[in-house]
Copies of this chain bind each other. A is one copy, B any other.
Amino acid sequence: MKKFEEKTINSEQIFEGNVVNLRVDEVTLPNGETSKRELIKHPGAVAVIAITEENKIVFVEQYRKALEKSIIEIPAGKLEPGEHPIAAAIRELEEETGYTTNGLHFVTSFYTSPGFADELLHLYITDELVKLKEPKSLDEDEFVEVIELTLDEAKDYVAEERIHDAKTNYAVLYLHALGR
């Protein structure tokens, strides 16, 4: 839908990086005035709710430079150019957790920060995990630790704000709502 559309008058590319691009658009507002919008382009992302045979949820802890701390998240990552979200979800699951799956189901997708970024995250779930015989390697600049928690433990982590990441909070709430 295009309600309240903002028409681009001018677009200035500020930065083109490996993960994000930043541009500033000058726009005409619905009332005829002009304004500026700071806009991040992102390739999109995937995340996986992975449930083990023992009914534990698979998380990864990793350092997030943007936050200057390590946080606990469900396995996730960026889409590679041209990559289907399902392929990306399996790749990230394999690289980050050492599991693979034959049965991945779509949960939902959402924009993570539509006020300034176009990142769309696709969320999947699987309870058909198989340990990889030969673990895949992570990206060369990626370091993660796998943590498996029961749903009750994960809820405690949310309450303590040891888990406070949009996709991960959503995953914990989703499993709670399923009554798992």
Contact = CB atoms under 8 A, between A and B. Distances in A.
Interface string A109-122: 11111111111110
Interface of A: 1-6, 14-15, 17-20, 22, 24-25, 27, 29-31, 33, 35-40, 42, 45, 61-67, 69-71, 73, 76, 78, 108-121, 140-141, 143-145, 158, 161, 164-170, 173-174, 176-177
Contacts of A112: 112-113, 166
Contact of A71 (B35, B61, B114): B114
Secondary structure call for the A interface: mixed
Given A15-B38, A39-B65, A121-B166, 7 more contacts: A4-B62, A14-B15, A18-B36, A35-B140, A37-B66, A40-B40, A66-B114
